[in-house]
């Protein structure tokens, strides 16, 4: 297989739970292919470098297999290789979140409206009107 749509590939590689979420991420500019903003219909080929921002963090990956069938997570991880810089950055961000929890940065109870907006900004979500 030579190429596949990027939204199908992101779904098959398990970066997003549904293809619609993968397509929305492309529309919002959270996916870049070879340093250019990727549309959902863009083709992914073996050797492409992708920058993917989702709830799990920011991933820099190299495409190894251009597959479009969603399978088990173990198979999906063979579709790409994550760079060392990306792994280190995600580990650092996880450590910072853990330290914030231990330091009491998060209050008890439900977040207020302002707190929810701040959490959304921190996670890189945009507010749609």
The predicted-structure confidence for 8-58, as pLDDT tens digits, reads as follows: 999 999 999 999 999 999 999 999 999 899 998 999 999 999 999 988 889
The predicted-structure confidence for 59-118, as pLDDT tens digits, reads as follows: 999 999 998 899 899 999 999 999 999 999 989 988 888 888 777 666 667 888 888 888
* Angstrom distance (rounded) from CA 5 to CA 46: 12
Asked if residue 97 lies in contact with residue 40, where contact means CB atoms within 8 angstroms, the answer is no
Asked if residue 68 lies in contact with residue 75, where contact means CB atoms within 8 angstroms, the answer is no
> What pTM value is reported for the model?
0.74
CATH of 3-123, one of 3.40.50.720, 3.90.1510.10, 3.20.190.10, 3.10.290.10: 3.10.290.10
| Domains in the chain: boundaries | 3-123
Residue 33, pLDDT score: 92
Which pair of tokens denotes residue 87?
A: 């792994």
Angle at alpha carbon of residue 17, lines to 60 and 83, rounded to 5°: 15
* Angstrom distance (rounded) from CA 121 to CA 123: 5
Q: Which residues pair with 62 in a beta bridge?
A: 49, 81
* Angstrom distance (rounded) from CA 58 to CA 30: 9
């Amino acid at each position: 297989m030579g190429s596949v749509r990027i939204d199908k590939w992101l779904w098959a590689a398990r970066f997003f739970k549904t293809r619609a979420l993968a397509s929305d991420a492309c529309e919002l500019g959270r996916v870049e292919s070879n340093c250019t903003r990727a549309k959902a219909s863009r083709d992914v080929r073996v050797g492409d470098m992708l920058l993917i921002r989702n709830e799990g963090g920011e991933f820099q990956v190299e495409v190894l297999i251009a597959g479009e069938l969603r399978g088990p997570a173990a198979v999906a991880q063979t579709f790409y290789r994550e760079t060392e810089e990306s792994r280190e950055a995600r580990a650092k961000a996880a450590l910072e979140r853990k330290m914030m929890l231990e330091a009491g940065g998060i209050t008890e109870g439900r977040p207020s409206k302002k707190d929810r907006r701040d959490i959304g900004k921190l996670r890189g979500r945009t507010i749609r009107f």
